Amino acid sequence: MRTPLSSPFSPGSDTVPSVWAGRTKQLSDWHDVIRPRRLAGIPERGRTILGEAGLGKSTLVRRIAADAVQAGDWVTPQLRIPSGTDPLKRVATALLDLSQAAGLPLKRDRQLGELLGKVQQLSVAGVSMATREARDRPDAYSVLTELLIELGRAARRHGDTMVLIHVDEMQNISSPDVLSQMLIAFGDALVHEELESVPGGRQVAVALPIAVYLTGLPEFADMAGARQGATFARRFQTTILTPIGDEDFSAALQPFVTKGWPILTPQGTEARIFLEPDAQRYIVELSQGEPFLFQLAGQQAWFAGVDTVITRDDVRAGWGEARVEALSHVERILERLPESERAFLRAMAELEPDQRTATSIAQRLGYASATPIGPSAQRLDTKRGIIIRGKPYDFRHRAVGAYLTSDWPDLE
C-alpha cells in the first residue's frame, strides 16, 4: 500500500512538501503584511531569510511563491546562484522572462523596447556590461532597476498583482561589486514611489507592488552589512530561521493519526495511511526541530513498511537507514564554522547544562575571563542561531546540541 510514489514527505529537495510544519509567522508576514501593504502602495522592505542548512529557508520562500502564483501574482522561479557564476545575468534573464509573461507592451512603447534590449544585453554579457565600455553602456544595476520599476508599474495597472523575486544561495556571490549592484537595484526598486491622483484632485506617492526575498546561509548578513551597511538594513528585514517547535511537527502529523493520509492505490482507489501516536512522537523526537530531518524521518518510516499503519518500529527501522545522512547533515554544519566557534561549542557541550555560563566556557578553553570568547558567543547566537546566550547558555540549534551532548542520531 505504501510506495515511494505515494510518500508525502520530501527531504532536501527544495520542493514544498505535502506535510507542512510551522513557519506560520513568516507565512503570515507575506499574507498579512508584505502583500497587502505593497498592493495598497505602502512601502515595505524586502525580506532576507537566513539560516543553517536544513532549516527550510528555500522551501519556505517556495511555499510563499506558490501561494503568490495561486493568487495570480507574477513570480520568478527560485534563482539559485552557484559559486563563480554571474548573478546579474541570472536575474536579468528571469526578469526578461517575467516581462514576456506579463505582456509588457513592447510594440507600443519604444522606450520600453530599448530598455528590454539593454536587459537582453545584460543577460548575455553579465557584469562585463558594467565594466567594459562604461561610457557607452549603462550600469547593470540601473538597467535592472528600470525593468523592475516597469514590471511594478505593469502589475499596478493590472490590479491586485504582485511582482515577486526570489534569489537563493546569496552567500555564493563573492564579488563585492556584483553584490552591491544587485542589492542597490533591488533596494532602489523597493523604495521607488510614483505620484497617483486620488479623489479630490490630490496626488499621493505610492510604492510599487514589488517584493524581493533573498535566502542563504547566515554569513550573507556579514557580507551585505560590510558592503551596504545601513542602506541594506533600511531596505531589507533579516530573519534568522531557528528550529521548529515540537508542537508544530506534532500538528503536521496529526492528520495521519486521526484521519489517515489519503493516497491512491495502483488500482486507482483511495486508501488512507495512519500513524500510531507512538510513531508520531518518535518522529518528532528524532527530528530535533529540523525540517529536513523531519521530512527524512517521515520518508524513511514510510518506506519501512507497506501496510496502512506506520508504527514505532517502522520509524525505528527507517531511522536506521537515515542515520548516516542525519549525521552528515549536522557534521557539515559544524565543519563550516571557524575553529574558534567549533571549540566554543565543544567546550559548552562538555559542561553540565546548568554550568554553561560564559565564565565556565572560557575557563574550559583556557581563558581567565569571558572576554576573549565574547565575539564567538555573539556570532553563534545572533548571526548563526546555534546557541542562546541565556543564564545559562543553551543550544538553540537542537540537532547540533544533541549531536555534541548525546548519542543522537544513534537510537536509544
Q: Is residue 1 part of a domain?
A: no
pLDDT, one tens digit per residue, over 193-221 is 999 887 877 889 999 999 999 999 998 88
- Same domain? For 367 and 256 the reply is no
Q: Is residue 11 part of a domain?
A: no
pLDDT, one tens digit per residue, over 272-305 is 999 999 999 999 999 999 999 999 999 999 999 9
DSSP state of 167: E
- 368 CB neighbour count, 10 Å cutoff: 9
- Same domain? For 327 and 373 the reply is no
The mean pLDDT value for 85-107 works out to 79
Q: List the domain range (segments joined by +) for residue 204.
A: 24-240
Q: Rounded to two decimals, what is the model's pTM?
A: 0.89
Taking CA atoms, 290 is separated from 3, 57, 89, 340, in Å, by 24, 11, 33, 25
* Domains: count for the chain: 3
- Same domain? For 172 and 285 the reply is no
- Same domain? For 223 and 261 the reply is no
Where a domain ends, among 204, 220, 240?
Answer: 240
Query: Nearest CA to 162 among 78, 70, 73?
Result: 73
Instruction: Say whether pLDDT at 86 is over 90.
Output: no
Q: Is residue 18 part of a domain?
A: no
Distance CA 84, CA 127 (A): 12
Q: Name the amino acid, one letter, at 130.
A: A
**Inter-residue contact 320 to 357 (CB < 8 Å):** no
Q: Is residue 370 part of a domain?
A: yes
Identify the pLDDT of residue 125: 59
DSSP state of 172: G
Distance CA 169, CA 214 (A): 8
398 grid coordinates: 537542537
Q: Is residue 410 part of a domain?
A: no
Higher pLDDT: 101 or 342? It is 342
User: In what helix (H) or strand (E) does residue 89 lie, and over which residues does it extend?
Assistant: helix 87-102
Helix (H, G, I), strand (E, B) or coil at 351: coil
Q: Which CATH number does the domain housing residue 145 bear? A: 3.40.50.300
Distance CA 75, CA 98 (A): 7
**Angle of helix 110-125 versus helix 140-158 axis, rounded to 10:** 130
Where a domain ends, among 240, 257, 281?
Answer: 240
- What one-character-per-residue DSSP string does 299-332 give? HHHHHT--SSEE-HHHHHHHHHHHHHHHHHHHHH
373 grid coordinates: 570568547
Q: Which CATH number does the domain housing residue 367 bear? A: 1.10.10
Query: Nearest CA to 102 among 67, 76, 65?
Result: 76
Q: Is residue 350 part of a domain?
A: yes
Higher pLDDT: 62 or 225? It is 62
- Same domain? For 320 and 342 the reply is no
Identify the pLDDT of residue 115: 66
- Same domain? For 83 and 220 the reply is yes
Distance CA 196, CA 368 (A): 64
Q: Which CATH number does the domain housing residue 282 bear? A: 1.10.8
Q: Is residue 205 part of a domain?
A: yes
Helix (H, G, I), strand (E, B) or coil at 389: coil
Q: Which of 34-43, 178-187, 321-330, 337-346 has the lowest mean pLDDT?
A: 178-187
pLDDT band at 78 (very low <50, low <70, confident <90, very high): very high
The contacts of residue 330 (CB under 8 Å, 6+ apart) are 399, 400, 403, 409
- Same domain? For 87 and 108 the reply is yes
Instruction: Say whether pLDDT at 320 is over 60.
Output: yes
pLDDT band at 137 (very low <50, low <70, confident <90, very high): very low
- Same domain? For 260 and 196 the reply is no
Instruction: Say whether pLDDT at 123 is over 70.
Output: no
- Same domain? For 101 and 223 the reply is yes
**Inter-residue contact 88 to 126 (CB < 8 Å):** yes
Where a domain ends, among 273, 306, 332?
Answer: 332
Q: Is residue 14 part of a domain?
A: no
Distance CA 412, CA 401 (A): 16
- Same domain? For 167 and 233 the reply is yes
- Same domain? For 260 and 343 the reply is no
- Same domain? For 307 and 168 the reply is no
pLDDT band at 119 (very low <50, low <70, confident <90, very high): low
